[in-house]
Amino acid sequence: MLIHDPLVKNDVEALIADRTNRLQSPGLAEILAMMTMPWSLFVGEDDPIYAENKECIRSMPNATFFSLRGLGHADAFFHIDLVLPHVTQFLATVNRH
């Protein structure tokens, strides 16, 4: 049986180094307030990091947020029919220079 898992094809040492770097690096919370450009954040409500994503907008001065009921992390990215109306509305409100 062939395994088609993309992680199997990765360099294990590189994955370990990446994870170690992420754990040792400061989090985004420290820089969110400096991110003054318009942002649109979305997440599936069944995503394990839903609360953390929703909390981000409190620190970001120009962020909007929407959630997708009944969807997990990856599911949210595959439902363009649910995401596109929100993104289109967000882009319409962005001040173009």
DSSP per-residue codes, 15-70: HHHHHHHHHHSPPGGGTGGG--S-EEEEEETTSTTHHHHHHHTTT-TTEEEEEETT
Q: Report if pTM > 0.85.
A: no
Does the residue 64 lie in any domain? yes
Instruction: State the total domains in the chain.
Output: 1
In a domain, 87, yes or no: yes
Specify the pLDDT at position 1.
Answer: 46
Q: What is the mean pLDDT of residues 42-49?
A: 91
76 falls within a domain: yes
Q: What pLDDT does residue 7 have?
A: 57
24, part of any domain: no
Domain assignment present for residue 29? The answer is no
| pLDDT at position 53 over 90 | no
What does the pLDDT average to over 6-28?
Answer: 73
- Mean pLDDT, range 11-38, rounded to an integer: 78
Query: Which residues constitute the domain of residue 81?
Result: 35-97
Q: Residue 43 falls within a domain, yes or no?
A: yes
For the cut 60, the answer to whether the pLDDT of residue 6 exceeds it is: no
